[in-house]
Amino acid sequence: MSKVVVVGSYVVDLMSRTPHLPKPGETVLGGPFKMGPGGKGGNQATAAARCGSEVTFVTKLGGDVFGREALAHFQAENVNTEFIKVDPNQATGAALIAVDDNSENSIVVSLGACGTITEAEVMEAEEEIKCGDIVLLQLETSIEAVVTAVKLAKKYRVPVILNPAPYQEFPKEILRDVAFITPNETEAFELSGIEVKDEHSALAAAQKIHEMGVDTVIITLGSKGAFLYTGGEKGDLVPGFKVEAIDTTGAGDAFNGGFAHALSNGQSVREAMTFANAVAALSVTKIGTAPAMPNKQEVKTFLLHLGAAK
């Protein structure tokens, strides 16, 4: 079984539907309200586990009801929770999410405990990283945790996927030790200074990011799919799948979790991207983030139906 180690964030999702996203100073009557497990790290760990990977999740929770519910969720998903720390003096992270009638979303994240993950806490998972097939990271946690995980992965020659989301400044020198980077259009702009509007601009942005030292640049483009660049004068758009979207929140996390699973399971990069596009497409047909992640059979059936399975 493929082994994926996710080092990152857990926040509880507090989501409400709304006719439209509120303007500054505006109160909008919405509903229904849903609460569930979330955070980029938690979503990606759930996605990879449901796809069939053996997943270890490194994060930190607060000593509150949200933290207890988080542990119950990951135990139910068969995720290794040995390295999920609980700090009784902190609150578990929370995300306030509004989703409008067009399935667009607005999100405010309070990182809470997962924003204080230390180097020592990541180092405790050294053996898991050593034995892993893929290490999957985001920027929704302490940068200290990200840098430490990259160093450990380099030590044991384990490929790193960095999903630079939500974007915050980080030491760019670590990119030389990152095998795959998966920004969306906004994050690609933050990294490259080039606004991504189409394949031509995606290529220019990917080339700029590639020059920073990353072997493989994958810019996710929502329903259009994902743009792959590994060097040279050309890139490759791996098309997405058309579905009726209900809630696009967490689609990027679905992609990253599915991509990590497929890569660690021996698929080629392009095959893994097609698989990840399918995971992302299925995730937006349900409400929520982690609860909306499809399982392995759902993805297999979806790809078979479309004639895309290998």
Catalogue the active-site residues. 253
Report long-range pairs for 220-224 (Cβ below 8 Å, ≥24 apart).
220/182, 220/183, 220/184, 220/185, 220/252, 220/255, 220/280, 221/184, 221/185, 221/196, 222/184, 222/185, 222/248, 222/251, 223/281
> Is 101 marked as a binding-site residue?
no
| The pair of three-digit structure tokens given for residue 178, joined into one six-digit string | 């990152």
> Is 277 marked as a binding-site residue?
yes
> Is 112 marked as a binding-site residue?
no
Residue 147's H or E segment, with its range, is helix 143-155
Q: Could you identify the residue written with the tokens 């999903």? A: 163
> Is 43 marked as a binding-site residue?
yes
> Is 286 marked as a binding-site residue?
yes
Question: Beta strands of 63-192 (E only): which ranges?
Answer: 84-87, 92-99, 105-112, 134-138, 160-163, 180-181
> Is 80 marked as a binding-site residue?
no
> Is 247 marked as a binding-site residue?
yes
Query: How does DSSP assign 12-69, residue by residue?
Result: EEEEEE-SSPPPTT-------EEEEEE-HHHHHHHHHHHHT-EEEEEEEEESSHHHHH
> Is 40 marked as a binding-site residue?
yes
> Is 257 marked as a binding-site residue?
no
> Is 215 marked as a binding-site residue?
no
> Is 41 marked as a binding-site residue?
yes
Q: Where is the binding site for K(+), in residues?
A: 247, 249, 283, 286, 288
Q: Where is the binding site for ATP, in residues?
A: 184, 220-225, 252-253, 277
Q: Where is the binding site for substrate, in residues?
A: 11-13, 39-43, 140, 253
Q: Where is the binding site, in residues?
A: 11-13, 39-43, 140, 184, 220-225, 247, 249, 252-253, 277, 283, 286, 288
